[in-house]
Structure 1
Amino acid sequence: MYHKVYETRSYNAKDKVKYMAWTSEMDRCLTEILVEEVKKGNKIDSSHSTLKPAAYRAALTALNENFVLDLTKEHIRNRLKTWRKQFGILRELLAHKGFKWDETRKMVIADNSVRNESHKG
């Protein structure tokens, strides 16, 4: 099975860039942990998306143990920034007529009329 890999970076104490590849499984793990942490109340407040330190600790522990990694809080923050950016792109795309989310395939799909229109050029 094909697993998507994403890269993020963080800076260590000596300001050297340290790249890290994210997999779909890691994203799934991070999502599950953060959902649980939010349910526990480990968010600063309901109107703000800032997580409490306990949420970061739980995510780091789970990811580092399950995937034998040495992630930092900065890796988690960068991944969340990437998710926010991707969400914005998806939201904008889905706002256009003819585009919708396919829950089974977990992807955006377009009606044939939209696809045909894009090929006319």
Structure 2
Amino acid sequence: MKKDPSIMKENMKWTLAMDEVFIQALLDQHYKGFRMDGTFTQTAYNNIINELKEKLGIEFTKSHLKNRLKTLKEHFKESYDFFRNGKLSGFSWNPFTKTWCAEPEVWEQLLQEKPEAIRWKTKVINH
């Protein structure tokens, strides 16, 4: 039996729908006790692989899941570092637009200190 080459690729293009199902599956496995000391167990990964295949019709590997989890954590950390969970003076989280909001002067001050924060001015954070 010949394997589909797309299954073996470690890089996968994730969609918003894929992320939603994946994050919910991670939460479910955490609540079921399959996350020990901050690490998901092999059982958790097997359960998530099966769930994603059932719900999305796509084959995943443990590497796909670990890589995506790493990316999601990096995105969270970067946003958290800039905004300190909304405690950076003048910024607030808008749950409707799913963006960080501030007056133009406040953005200018942040961008003078951290020019790389420009991406967060319009970046929608869905999760």
Q: TM-score range by the shorter chain?
A: 0.7 to 0.9
Normalised to the residue count of structure 1, the TM-score between the two structures is 0.72
What is residue 28 of structure 1 aligned with on the other side? Answer: 20
Matches within 5 A, 1:54-65: 54-65=43-54
Q: How high is the sequence identity, in percent, across the aligned residues? A: 28
Matches within 5 A, 1:1-121: 12=8, 17-45=9-37, 49-95=38-84, 96-115=88-107, 117=109
Calculate the aligned-residue CA RMSD, in Å. 2.3
Give unpaired runs (5+ residues) of structure 1.
1-9
Give unpaired runs (5+ residues) of structure 2.
1-5, 113-127
Normalised to the residue count of structure 2, the TM-score between the two structures is 0.69
What is the deviation of 1:56? Answer: 0.8
- Secondary structure (helix, strand or coil) at the match of 1:19 reads coil
Contact 2:10-2:63 within 8 A present in 1 as well: no
Contact 2:34-2:44 within 8 A present in 1 as well: yes
- Measured in 1, the distance between the counterparts of 2:44 and 2:99 equals 28
What is residue 120 of structure 2 aligned with on the other side? Answer: none
Contact 1:94-1:101 within 8 A present in 2 as well: no
- Secondary structure (helix, strand or coil) at the match of 2:78 reads helix
- Measured in 1, the distance between the counterparts of 2:64 and 2:42 equals 14
Distance 1:11 1:111, change over 3 A: same
**Residue identity matched to 2:34:** N
Contact 2:94-2:100 within 8 A present in 1 as well: yes
Structure 1 stretches of 4+ with a deviation exceeding 6 A read none
What is the deviation of 1:115? Answer: 3.3
Superimposed CA distance per residue, residues 81-101 of structure 1 (whole angstroms, 9 cap, x where no aligned partner): 101110111101213322222
- Between Structure 1 and Structure 2, the one with more helix by share is 2
